[in-house]
Structure 1
Amino acid sequence: MSSNSTFRILVSSDNHTGYAEDKPIIGNDSFDGFEEVLQHAKEQDVDFILLGGDLFHKSEPDRSTVHKVTELLRDYVLGDRDIPFEFMSEPGDVFGFSKFQRVNFEDSNLNIGMPIFTIHGNHDDFSGKGLLALDNFHDSGYLNLFGKFTDVEKIEVKPVLLCKGQTKIALYGIGHQRDDRLCRAFNLDKIKFFTLPEDFDDYFKILVVHQNRPPRSTLRSTGSYLPFEKIPKFFDLVVWGHEHACQVEDMEYERSGEPYILQPGSSVATSLCPDESIPKAAALLQIKKTSMKINKIPLERSRQVLFDVLDLNKKDPHVKLTKTQVRTKEMKDEKMIHEKIGNMLREAEKNRGDHQPDLPRIRLKVIYSGPWLNIPPVKPALIGEKYKSRVANPSELIKVHFVRPEKEKKNLGGGIELSNLMDTTTVFDLLRESIKQRAQNGLGLLQLDGMEELVKEQCSGVITKVGMKKDALRKVIDDQMENYMTRIKRLDMEKLGEHPPVSEIRGLVEYAVGEMIKGNQNQTENADVSSTSVNSNDENLVSDKSTSQTQRKRVPESSVVPDSLEVIDVDDDFSD
């Protein structure tokens, strides 16, 4: 499919530069992965690179990370190569967030040889004054950031229009949004995709998103994901970032009325799970008019990741073990673990590519259940120490998991049982369930949305320092207390008379606060109901208005992500 009208595009996503930068062996893996993507783009002589978000691992990347990425972009992006296609959009429509509302290769002050177009991901999330680390790179001319929206209540997606000979591309993007909010915005028709009045059918239409693809929560009515059926059918291709499992295969596409999903996966493993053990790759797109060809480009320098599970009770269900609190050298579980690790190491050596690092990352999940609960588990640190010259992650080599009988369920506090947790349970699910159950015992002042946003910012790296965490928590509490005080000031005190008894004032205030607490608890019960704002239409807070409650729908069990996707882009923020 080679001609002057064929677009050649290299697609990658989730480069996570700066991941584990301070770790001795794997500290440079993220930069090696990103550089290999850039090298393939140069070798394949592509027209431009398309990234699906999470260029950085931290929303506020370290100075060393910014420096290394700048070096790479300067080496591969700048140059005097001719750009063989035209930018046809109104620049303000797609770069309206920036002072420099122009595509970088049309800027007379810049010399761009390899354009990059990218959306932002959840790790590139906003901090400070609504800025991303990517904003600095856009404004300095190293890349073109598009699909940036700060208000999920009003997302108007205008395309980046590109033309090469007889082939025209309409490139749409939506940078990462909270999955629940984005799903509700689609449900309420708040997402508007601008189309062209003329010859729109002649464009090859691409949408780039960075969201959960399968359901990730059984406690949220939205399932905490972006359903594929919400995406308009006029798209030819959806580039799906955020999911780290590489799903790139050689294929050819002809327009059929159904978008094709391309999931590049990540270029570096940020957690030790089945998804990350799939070999990494980029995708080479060749687009001519409304036809497309995809070729898989393996990333040959990516470090091997091997994941396996050793269920001791399945391996030997008839073992006889005397209950003890003391480990001995002869215990059978340790022998089985070493045997399994040996097999994994041999597999790694057999499949290691010529350009892959010598030391793989390995994770063995060891499950203790049945009679194996009668003995204390192995100490992961001691096991890992024996393999420190053979694996890149000796301290993370073993993960111990217990499956206890029903009568031995442990409680997290607030009524949340460990045995009820699934691999799809998120920290936000735990927060919601904890607040819901504790509210029944008197905790009801804090609104869920504020606390959930605070947890999200801390987990995603937006809030990193201890002082920042304290200030953020104080601000959430202060904002909500101000909300209460504003409502109390709006109470109708005149009906109490000129000199009302203190008891009557207290009664009126207590009633109003009680109603507000009920509202918070209702909000917790209904995941789809937004927290009431200060400028609510509820003018009379002591009126006898009844509030109808929307029944919260559960995600069908059949739609929950399968067991094979055990860890979902949680990264090492939550790994042991």
Structure 2
Amino acid sequence: MRFLHISDTHLGYQQYNIKDRERDYFDVFQEAIDKAIEKNVDFIIHTGDFFHSSRPSNESILDGLYLIKKLKDHKIPMFVIPGNHDRGSGTRDRNALEILSEFGLRLLNSDFVEYNGVNIFGLKYISPIHFKRSIILKDILYNLYEKATDKNNFNILMLHLEFAPVFSSSELQTISDIPFEYDYVGIGHYHQRQEPIKEEGRYVVYPGSTEYTQFNEKSYIEKGCYLVEVGGKNIEKIEFVPLNARKFLSYSIDYSEIDKFLEDMEKDLNNLNLNKKPILSLNINTQENISNKDILRILESKNLADEFLHIKIFVNQNKRDISDDTTSSNTESFSAVEKLKEVVDDEELRIKLEEIFKMAESYENVKDLEEFIKHHPEMFEI
């Protein structure tokens, strides 16, 4: 028996408002589907964030339907759990995954299904704040496991949660909060692929996202999915299957070295043999009075600007004056909000974080802020 593990496809994400980026997310998802068909897998598991939004465009829903039909034609079911991006905003909403489930997608919210002698368990995304208040994950997962009628089957668990150490602020631990009755634990939500981890006989696998979504992702780590072969209760092989994601190139340099850097970058572009124009992030450190437009004009003069689909330039002017020592707290807060625009590409997430910063700024003491947080936990559900 073999299956493909994919995650965080974010279908419909029109990053930087560029239509080509929206197609990138579809193309790489379709490539994963084609790999599953080529490898003749028995089924696919998808560990959340199928769509980028709980209310995707009609075009994105049609793209999802096309992929599900393609799998259905080859008799390959796909089992999916809702990630944080897939969730509807209320009980009256029907999210897009529920629509696709009417056409063959196998949606597991907090459910169990037995398929061809394999137990597949799924738990939808739960905000970290709920675990801190009253929910004990281990109890939920034990109760979920008890739904299985044949415990001797190979047991797959699908999660879209924040675990330490990949999420440094999380209190959840895979080794202590996930029962060892599960033979394969597939986890979404973390976009940086990890090598499969073996814990006392079972495997914990983070496939990462299928496309780059942030400049802070390590571009030298390939995007892809995992092909898993199982014999009885044992995993016989886990193979990484690379996908053709568009490359993100990120550099940080001193302005005084820009000419040499651009010469080297031109050589790099020629050596990489890319079949898609990459996305460039250029962080310039300088004490001179230059702007983003100045740097862009330099790139254009070297005929390099057209080599990239999108360019983000950050100019850090390392000047210091007397006013730096008397910066007000409001200015510091404003700088933090401005910094979000540089490091957080996801517009929905950035807007939410800006709301939190501005709300915190409005309180004059920590006690009042703590009281607000106590009565408005939903404010921090990201």
TM-score, length of structure 2 as denominator length: 0.79
Distance 1:50 1:276 in 2: 25
Instruction: Compare the two structures and name the one with the higher helix fraction.
Output: 2
Instruction: Sort the Cα spacing of 1:280 and 1:189 in 2 relative to 1 into closer, same or farther, 3 A.
Output: closer
The corresponding residue for 1:363 is: 281
Whole-Å separation in 1 of the counterparts to 2:12 and 2:118: 32
Report if aligned partners of 2:330, 2:361 keep a CA contact under 8 Å in 1. no
Distance 1:55 1:196 in 2: 27
Cα deviation, 1:417-444, whole Å, max 9, x if unaligned, reads: 8589998998877766764564336995
* Cα deviation, residue 196, structure 1: 4.5
Partner of 1:232: 179
Per-residue CA deviations over 1:501-546 (Å, capped at 9, x if unaligned) read xxxxxxxxxxxxxxxxxxxxxxxxxxxxxxxxxxxxxxxxxxxxxx
Please give the alpha-carbon distance, in whole angstroms, between the structure 2 residues aligned to 1:197 and 1:55.
25
Per the alignment, residue 71 of structure 2 pairs with 77
Residue-by-residue CA offset, 1:179-230 (whole Å, 9 max, x unaligned): 2323554548652523349996623222211123446888xxxx24633232
Q: Which residue of 1 aligns with 2:89?
A: 127
- What amino acid is the match of 1:170? N
Per-residue CA distance 1:146-174 (angstroms, 9 max, x = gap): 0x2xxxxxxxx5432233xxxx4322222
Structure-1 separation of matches of 2:238 and 2:167: 32
**Partner residue of 1:15 out of 9, 18, 22:** 9
Q: Match for 1:178 among 127, 130, 133? A: 127
Q: Which amino acid aligns with 2:245?
A: S
Contact 1:244 1:275 (C-alpha < 8 Å) held by counterparts: no
Higher strand share: 2
RMSD: 3.9
Q: Does 1:352 align with 2:270?
A: no
Is the Cα–Cα contact under 8 Å of residues 119 and 156 in structure 2 kept in the other structure?
yes
Name the stretch that deviates more: 128-137 or 444-453.
444-453
1:447 lines up with 2:372 in the alignment: yes
Q: CA deviation at 1:267?
A: 1.2
SS state at 2:307 partner: coil
Of 387, 390, 397, which aligns to 2:307? Answer: 390
Identify which range, 56-65 or 196-205, moves more after superposition: 196-205
Change (3 A) 1:383 1:278: farther
Q: Secondary structure at the match of 1:181?
A: helix
1:142 aligned partner = 104
Tell me by how many angstroms 1:365 deviates: 2.4
Stretch of structure 1 that moved more, 176-185 or 290-299: 176-185
CA distance in 2, matches of 1:184, 1:347: 50
Change (3 A) 1:188 1:239: closer
C-alpha separation in 2, matches of 1:305 and 1:193: 41
Structure-2 change in CA distance of 1:341 and 1:273 (3 Å): farther
Deviation digits for residues 221-269 of structure 1 (CA, Å, limit 9, x no counterpart): xx246332322232222211111112256x9x7xx63542211111112
Alignment of 1:423-438 (within 5 A): 435=359, 438=362
In the alignment, what sits opposite 1:161? 114
Verify the 8 A CA contact 2:291 2:315 in the aligned structure 1. Answer: yes
Matching residue within 40, 48, 61 for 1:45: 40
Residue 272 of structure 1 aligns to a residue in which SS?
Answer: coil
Given the superposition, is the C-alpha separation of residues 348 and 295 from structure 1 closer, same or farther in structure 2, using an over 3 Å criterion? farther
- In the other structure, the counterpart of 1:485 is none
Q: Once the 2 structures are TM-superposed, how far is the Cα of residue 361 of structure 1 from its aligned partner?
A: 1.5
Given that 1:172 and 1:207 are in contact with CA atoms closer than 8 Å, whether structure 2 keeps it comes out as: yes
Matched residue, 2:231 = 288
1:26 paired to 2:21: yes
SS at structure 2 position matched to 1:247: coil
Question: Which consecutive residues of structure 1, in runs of 5 or more, have no partner in the other structure?
Answer: 1-6, 82-112, 149-156, 313-332, 461-576
Give, in angstroms, the shift of residue 297 of structure 1: 1.0
Aligned pair count reads: 364
**Residues of 2 paired with 1:418 and 1:10: CA distance?**
43
**One-letter amino acid of the structure 1 residue matched with residue 76 of structure 2:** M
Q: Deviations over 1:41-65 (max 9, x none)?
A: 1100101111111111122111122
Kindly, what percent of the aligned residue pairs are identical? 23
Q: Is the 8 A contact 1:158 1:193 kept in 2?
A: no
Q: Is the partner of 1:306 in helix, strand or coil?
A: strand
**Structure 1-normalised TM-score?**
0.55
- 8 Å Cα contact 1:180/1:225 also seen in 2: no
Question: Greater CA radius of gyration, 1 or 2?
Answer: 1
CA deviation digits over 1:297-351, x for unaligned, max 9?
111x3212222322x3xxxxxxxxxxxxxxxxxxxx1x52353344345334423
- Secondary structure (helix, strand or coil) at the match of 1:413 reads helix
* Counterpart for residue 3 of structure 1: none
